[in-house]
Structure 1
Amino acid sequence: MSLLERTTAQYRSLRLTAAASGLPDLLAEAEQQELSYLDFAQRLVDHEISVRTCTRIERHLKQAQFPAEKPLESFDYRHQTTITKRQVNALLDFGFIDQRQNLVFIGPPGVGKTHLAIGIGQKAVQAGYKILFRTALALIEELELAEMKGELKKRLSQLAKCDVIIIDELGYLPMTRQARYNLFQLINSLYEYRSIILTTNKDFTAWGEFFHDDNVAVPIIDRIIHHSHIFMLGGESYRLKQKTTA
């Protein structure tokens, strides 16, 4: 076994797999550029960190279960004038996550609420946070199934391991009594402990309509808005405009 093969095997045994895989090319580059020993050592560790970071981001993006690729760079601020690029960029230091605050996007269908939620979520993943995306309907069904199995508390604990839960399209469909209770349990477990990004077509004053119970709506609203950034989005449906101009 050559020295290179033995060194590569030792790197792999230390779980430095990226350094092991890249060692031959990095050695050739170092010899060609006549790098110092320290510069070579730095490039080797930079390569390992870079590959690990990319792998982590890919894994967390998959775990987030975003329904589509919605980069913030493609958001049309010219169409949606009720929120500015500066306002969105101000959120990308992710202080709201570190301070356990929530983001709430309120507006009619098609004005970009989901695009903003996914775009911010994807940026957060790249910054090292764990995100989970769920439509409100899918989340409610998930909690109901866990409750039926007697595993609601376990599922709530699992969800709370995420730094941010994105709840999309809350308010489009009425909720059963059990669904309201389960959602309250989730919101209460995340309160001041994790962050929520919420999109809804209903202003808070109308939440009693789809909850069918102000006694449940009020404490949920209270926990969501206590530490939150609220954005009211207006305008006509962007999807409808695209379709009519096509």
Structure 2
Amino acid sequence: MSRLEQTVGRYRNLRCTAIADELPQLLAHAEANAASYLDFAEQLAEREQQVREHKRLDGNRRRARLPAGKRLEAFDYRHQTTITKRQVNALLDFGFIDNRQNLVFIGPPGVGKTHLAVGIADKALDAGYKVLFRNALELVEELEIAEMKGELKKKIAQLTRFDLLLIDELGYLPMSRQARYNLFQLVHAFYEYRSLILTTNKDFTDWGEFFHNDNVAVPIIDRVIHHSSIYMLGGESYRLKEKTAG
């Protein structure tokens, strides 16, 4: 075994896989540029750090499970005039995540709520935050299964590991009393600890009806709207417009 192979093996044992994979090229580049020992050491550390950061961001993106095709750059502000590009761009410093605040997009189906929410979450991933997307129905089912197994607290603890949880289409379907209680436990766990983005077709004045006037409706609303930015979206449905245009 050559000395180079031995050195590569040592880096691999130290789990410096980027250096191990690229050491011959890094050595050649350093020799060609007459790099000092300190410059070469810095290049090794920088390359390892770059690759690790790329892998971390790539892993975060896979775990986020964002719907495809909803990049913020593709959002049509000419059609959705109830929110401006300036308002959305102001959110992209992600102070709302750092300050444990929520975003709520309210409006009828098809007006771009999910597109905006996913687009913002996508930019948060680029900025290094851990994000998770869940359709409200899927989330409710996951919480119910965990509750039946006696693992609700464990499930909620797993969800709070993410900096941002996007709950899409809350309010489209009724929930059982137990499901409403589970949702309250989740919202309570996130309150002033992690951030939520919610999309819903129901104004908060209608949430009592959605929750069947259950006592849990008020505390859920209270924890959602406190420290929240709320956006009311209107206009004609994108999907309806495309269908009628065809």
The residue that corresponds to 1:64 in the other structure is: 64
The residue that corresponds to 2:124 in the other structure is: 124
**Where do residues 219-238 of structure 1 align in structure 2 (5 Å cutoff)?**
219-238=219-238
Q: Does 1:142 align with 2:170?
A: no
Instruction: Flag as ranges the 4+ runs of structure 1 deviating above 4 A.
Output: none
- Output the CA distance in 1 between the equivalents of 2:218 and 2:136: 18
The residue that corresponds to 1:151 in the other structure is: 151
**Where do residues 1-246 of structure 1 align in structure 2 (5 Å cutoff)?**
1-246=1-246
- Output the CA distance in 1 between the equivalents of 2:163 and 2:194: 6
1:76/1:34 CA distance change after superposition, 3 Å: farther
- Output the CA distance in 2 between the equivalents of 1:24 and 1:193: 46
- Output the CA distance in 2 between the equivalents of 1:244 and 1:50: 48
Q: Which moved more, 1:155-164 or 1:134-143?
A: 155-164
1:205 is displaced (CA, Å) by 0.6
1:49/1:217 CA distance change after superposition, 3 Å: same
Q: Which moved more, 1:87-96 or 1:217-226?
A: 87-96
1:213/1:15 CA distance change after superposition, 3 Å: same
Amino acid at match of 2:23: L
1:69 is displaced (CA, Å) by 4.1
1:203 is displaced (CA, Å) by 0.8
Amino acid at match of 1:91: L
Amino acid at match of 2:181: Y
Q: Which moved more, 1:230-239 or 1:42-51?
A: 42-51
1:208 is displaced (CA, Å) by 1.4
Describe the superposition over 1:133-180 as per-residue Cα deviations: whole angstroms up to 9, x where unpaired. 111111111111111111112211221221111110001111111111
Amino acid at match of 2:186: L
What secondary structure does 1:220 align onto? helix
What secondary structure does 1:100 align onto? coil
- Output the CA distance in 1 between the equivalents of 2:240 and 2:51: 41
- Output the CA distance in 1 between the equivalents of 2:183 and 2:175: 10
| Structure 1 gap segments, 5+ residues each | none
- Output the CA distance in 1 between the equivalents of 2:31 and 2:71: 40
C-alpha root-mean-square deviation of aligned residues, in Å?
1.6
Q: How many residues align?
A: 246
Describe the superposition over 1:163-210 as per-residue Cα deviations: whole angstroms up to 9, x where unpaired. 111110001111111111111111111111111110001111111121
Q: Which moved more, 1:164-173 or 1:71-80?
A: 71-80
Q: Identity over the aligned pairs, expressed in percent?
A: 71
- Output the CA distance in 2 between the equivalents of 1:193 and 1:7: 45
What secondary structure does 1:215 align onto? coil
1:245 is displaced (CA, Å) by 2.9
1:7/1:239 CA distance change after superposition, 3 Å: same
TM-score by length of 1: 0.94
| Structure 2 gap segments, 5+ residues each | none
- Output the CA distance in 1 between the equivalents of 2:127 and 2:189: 24
